[in-house]
Structure 1
């Protein structure tokens, strides 16, 4: 079959540009296969017409690549909040984030007053060794002012090849003159798993994201905490609050580490044959210790998979507030010719009991607010609208799709915790509770409730027998 193209000057100009021939032919062929040949061809003519008119008539010259990339990105972002086009630079940045290591200084930064402010240097990194401190303001990079720079621009300048140097000008409280600090970049591995002992017998583990380093660091954390406790661990608090998610395979591996058997998660795509299911293998790295999982409205995607699986299997008690509700799967598909990649929503997640996470999230077994102000704001707002979640995003997917309807929500079996345990959980902090600061456990009400609950579970023989 010979493909015929339109004869208008606009369409001819678009084809002659050599920009859209491949995509148009592929889309036209798909449209023909679907029986919509005439309509598909008409729409592609529309695209070619607009492309050529903008290219020829826009008030300033525009690059063909910019036009095509904008068109592709608009096509994807119009589908749902999580599909998007990644240009070559953004694609490389995404790969750096998922690898969990990059060349840089080892500083967590934010933007304040137009300058770059240090939140914290990461332990055992060039920044920490050079004496960078929390609260420092970085005013210049290699002599160039950071005033007016975006945070991403500053981060891009501080990252670089291992062994290369950069000069930071730093203003520090109590210092009359700016400090000039030269730092040599090294390979940085962000601390995605933080841990400590609480009261010498409870393992507190916080997972901040799921990249390629998460599961191995979780195992190291458990080994270290066992050694620090002298083999006397009595429980685990797994903190997934404000964890935006990350790699599916890491969520599966982390959950596998905490379960002895059973389904972890399943995904359902447009075609039934593309459905997938992951199951746990024998081996619980906590050896069945009582566990509490902390979640909140910032817990999304991979963190919801972990919390949902542990809740469904009654392996852990989930405490906090309802999670974000991002239950869709995004597949990153690289494009040839150094054209970046597309991130496309291809499936939905389901917990072991068949619950769809999408737009619903994980409802905790015990709802505990971080502050009294949270509870008051919730009471004043419409039910379920206390903070923005997946369901509030424009074009967010429904919990079920027409091609692969979700199974009905399964009611979980009761926890069967004795009243002596459940009575310990309060829904909100008492009057006068300190202002929340998650870096200070004594001001973190959700954490304190989680510690109280896991200790009560550890002290209850009936609960331990159920493990």
Structure 2
């Protein structure tokens, strides 16, 4: 794939918007910055002259670039070589590896979420786990790019991960067999009682149309009409902004879906309903959206839009809290700058940055035997070093959940397993819809 085509497609990887970048624009340097550039150049000269080993210009310049971007936020990055190749494989929707969404957390590789059905997911790796070693080699303090490169590999080969799980006494090893990660963005199933279930695992190209097709298929299976719909966005780390808008538009007939506000001209944009799809494809069908701490970015756009328009009940756990937009700026023929250029806001003007989307009904995943440990050390945007601060200056206490025990949620994972319930959140959502008569819940006002 040519680099130009890759840049055009990059909007499918994360919530990015593409804007042109001119050579003249990059050449302009504010004269007030000259003293600071003099410091940088002085450090460069000292390193070149006095460091114990010879250092290449490429290494020093790349280190300076990475340092500048790391000082901004966790999502801005310089992409070239292997980074761009990995971007290409993610855009294509398949690659050989483990199937993990990871971030660098203060020098450690931390798992945001394993993709559903991936080798990592099947091996029992969980959101919030830390990877400390790969095949016995310590990776703490290294680069995220190097760690990801090591985890990628030919399908069928194995790699040993040393995992530290917060709350556990000791790290433990997990051997995972790499597979071809052909992410199936949308899966669906008609549940008992003519309740439709649609899981969106990532926001790659054509997710909106895939969800529409899945809904029509289930409607046919239900002989004309569904009695309810569950849209599952759990462990969905995000993707295309356009597809998030398209998916939201399937269920909305008017009003704003999402807006973004940036400093540069052209970065403040409002996306409205009825621009991609006409009407509400599931009109008068009660709807629940499931989210958790792994629901990020594009997932939060959809959940926030449907919540603010009272089109769906949001159920589960507070989402990740990534409320920023990254723009891919080409730098020559074989490099690009992924830069945070805007924050996005739900229709009511709420920024999900740091705080995330708060469910209408908080439902813990009781079927997870590690629930207590996972809740104690769960990872969200606000935990990442250098994250953007919410403009509303949220305080930790504003994001703390009510610790009062809920009598509905007292069963243990063992008790649920004995009843055949492997996914308590989904089971609770389905039972809620089955108890609901038409017109009482989760319908647009």
TM-score, normalised to structure 2, is 0.69
Q: Which has the higher contact order (CA 8 A, sep 6+)?
A: 2
Q: Distance in 1 between matches of 2:354 and 2:248?
A: 22
Match of 2:328 in 1: 332
Per-residue deviation at 1:168? 6.1
Match of 1:342 in 2: 337
Match of 1:267 in 2: 260
Are the structure 2 counterparts of residues 108 and 41 from structure 1 closer, same or farther at C-alpha, using a change threshold of 3 Å? closer
Query: Does structure 1 retain, via aligned residues, the 8 Å contact 2:321–2:381?
Result: yes
| 3-state SS in 2 of match to 1:81 | coil
* Structure of larger gyration radius: 1
Correspondences of 1:100-119 after superposition (within 5 Å): 100-101=93-94
Q: Distance in 2 between matches of 1:78 and 1:388?
A: 20
Correspondences of 1:382-401 after superposition (within 5 Å): 387-400=378-391
Q: Distance in 1 between matches of 2:297 and 2:433?
A: 25
Moved more, 370-379 or 245-254: 370-379
- Residue correspondences, number: 360
Correspondences of 1:59-458 after superposition (within 5 Å): 59-101=52-94, 152-153=148-149, 156-158=152-154, 189-199=182-192, 201-271=194-264, 274-281=267-274, 282-338=278-334, 340-371=335-366, 387-400=378-391, 429-434=409-414, 442-457=421-436
Q: What are the Cα deviations for residues 186-223 of structure 1, in whole angstroms up to 9, with x where unaligned? A: 9x742121221211511111111111242232222212
Are the structure 2 counterparts of residues 461 and 348 from structure 1 closer, same or farther at C-alpha, using a change threshold of 3 Å? closer
Q: What are the Cα deviations for residues 352-400 of structure 1, in whole angstroms up to 9, with x where unaligned? A: 0111111111111111111287886699x6xxxx633212222221221
Q: Distance in 1 between matches of 2:251 and 2:206?
A: 17
Root-mean-square deviation (Å): 4.1
| 3-state SS in 2 of match to 1:448 | helix
| 3-state SS in 2 of match to 1:196 | strand
| 3-state SS in 1 of match to 2:347 | coil
Q: What are the Cα deviations for residues 335-366 of structure 1, in whole angstroms up to 9, with x where unaligned? A: 1042x211111000100011111111111111
Q: Distance in 1 between matches of 2:100 and 2:321?
A: 28
Per-residue deviation at 1:240? 0.8
Q: Distance in 1 between matches of 2:407 and 2:351?
A: 26
Per-residue deviation at 1:279? 0.6
Q: Distance in 1 between matches of 2:51 and 2:184?
A: 47
Q: Distance in 2 between matches of 1:279 and 1:376?
A: 40
| 3-state SS in 1 of match to 2:421 | helix
| 3-state SS in 2 of match to 1:158 | coil
Which runs of 5 or more residues in structure 2 are unaligned?
A: 1-23, 102-113, 124-133, 138-145, 160-178, 395-405
Are the structure 2 counterparts of residues 217 and 63 from structure 1 closer, same or farther at C-alpha, using a change threshold of 3 Å? farther
Which runs of 5 or more residues in structure 1 are unaligned?
A: 1-24, 111-118, 128-133, 136-145, 160-166, 171-184, 407-425
